[in-house]
Amino acid sequence: MLTGVVTLVAVCPAAPARAAGSRPVEAGTAKRTVPAPVRVAGARTGFRAAGGRPVAARAVAAGRGAPAGWRPVVMVAVGDSISSGFNACGWYVPCPARSWATGDDERVRSHYLRLLGGGAPVAGHGVNLAVPGATSADLARQMAGAVARRADYVTVLVGAQDACVADERQMTPVDVYRRRVAGALETLRAGRPDVRVFLASVPDLRRLWQVGRNSVAARAFWAVGRICPSMLARPRSTAPADRERRDRVRARVAGYNSALAQVCAAYGPACRFDGNALFDCRFTRDQLSKWDFFHPSASGQRLIAQLTFPLIEDWLREPAGERVT
């Protein structure tokens, strides 16, 4: 089921290289397109520290005289089934160990493992609050949970379920989506002023239709499970009404991603948006779960981590004492 790294890079190249010492473009400052989506054994989903409350990452670094300025102690993933690792290792169950964000499976090489490799003291402090089926309406509550866990770094991926509805008229309006995400980020900032946050773009749902429409197995799963009917209903139809419906759903997802860029830019330098890297990614059927042909497989989860982590990696190289606000 897994594909190699070479395949992933060929299909969806990682973020463009940048000159030494340069900083990636902040969300909203320029248009960038990257060519191209229950605790289990072994998953580290809790957190612990002396007295049960981890000290601030910056204080740890300062107390040890460490040269780096940003060393998160607690990272939290919020959002929907994609970040929970749903269907990445079993039949219709979350699999946090294979989450692109907080997973500890070496085959995925999540943000959590890459932070560990970069010297961040997050071992055992990867918290996954993502919930299958969550929409933007659930984000504020999840962010309150991130605050309660004293998060230093938060990843956000939510929006597919705002568009994947029984009838396209039920899709969340873009302005409502924007307001919900902005409110959730304000909850996070109010409780954790020094937190840093990464917003992943919502994957292209029409790409799912493109890679699965000719698969008998995919069409069967989509029909039996009533998976994302707004996009995936009547997958073989070429009727104008169905083509136009798919285009409208894709446009709504593009609207969500524009809203993410705007909200992240308003938040400031402590927020990064992926510049549509995930939306633009032309993933393959091998990178989808064979359980539903909708959620990422383990190799799909790895692809998300590979695409997105380089966009925040420079934070680990900041001079000691630098504050991003």
Specify the number of domains making up the chain. 1
Adjacent-strand bridge partners of 126: 75
List all residues 6 or more positions away from 167 whose beta carbon is below 8 Å from its beta carbon. 229, 230
Count CA within 13 A, CB hemisphere, residue 323: 5
Residue 39: band (very low, low, confident or very high) from pLDDT cuts 50, 70, 90:
very low
| pLDDT confidence of residue 57 | 34
151 domain residue, yes or no: yes
Going 190 to 192 to 198 to 200, the CA torsion angle's sign is: negative
Q: For residue 197, what are the contacts with CB-CB under 8 A and spacing of at least 6?
A: 153, 154, 155, 156, 185, 188, 264, 267, 270, 271, 272
What pLDDT does 75 receive?
98
| pLDDT given for residue 234 in this prediction | 97
Which residues are 197's β-sheet partners? Answer: 154, 271
Q: Are 37 and 285 within 8 A, CB to CB?
A: no
Tell me what pLDDT residue 16 has: 40
pLDDT of residue 35: 32
In the predicted structure, residue 120 carries a pLDDT above the cut 80: yes
We report the CATH number of the domain holding residue 113 as: 3.40.50.1110
State which residues form the domain around 263.
75-204+253-317
Residue 168, judged by CB atoms within 10 A of its CB (0-12, 13-18, 19+), counts as: middle
**DSSP-derived pairing of the beta strands 126-128 and 75-79:** parallel
pLDDT of residue 12: 67
Query: Residue 286 domain-assigned?
Result: yes
Whole-prediction pTM: 0.80
Q: Per-residue pLDDT averaged across 121-136, rounded?
A: 97
In-domain check, residue 220: no
Up-side HSE of residue 273: CA atoms within 13 Å toward CB?
A: 29
Digit-coded pLDDT (tens) for 273-291: 999 999 999 999 999 988 8
Tell me if 95 is assigned to some domain. Answer: yes
Among the residue ranges 24-33, 191-200, 257-266, 270-279, the one predicted with the least confidence is 24-33
Check: CB of residue 35 under 8 Å from CB of residue 22: no
Beta strand 271-273 with 75-79 is: unpaired
Would you state the pLDDT for residue 90?
Answer: 76
pLDDT at residue 15 is higher than 80: no
DSSP 169-214: GGSPPHHHHHHHHHHHHHHHHHH-TT-EEEEPPPP-HHHHHHHHTT
Percent of the chain with pLDDT over 90: 70
d(CA 256, CA 234): 24
Which range among 33-47, 88-102, 195-209 has the greatest average pLDDT?
195-209
pLDDT at 322: 60
Alpha carbon 128 to its chain centroid, in Å, reads 12
Structure confidence at residue 177 (pLDDT): 98
Rounded average pLDDT over 115-134: 96
Amino acid at 162: D
Residue 321 pLDDT greater than 80, yes or no: no
pLDDT over 70, % of the chain: 77
Specify the pLDDT at position 64. Answer: 39
Tell me what the mean pLDDT of segment 126-150 comes to: 97
**Is 196 domain-assigned?**
yes
CA atoms within 13 A on the CB side of 219: 9
Position 18 pLDDT exceeds 80: no
Residue 88 confidence class, pLDDT cut points 50, 70, 90: confident
Q: Would you say 229 and 235 are in contact if contact means Cβ atoms under 8 Å apart?
A: no
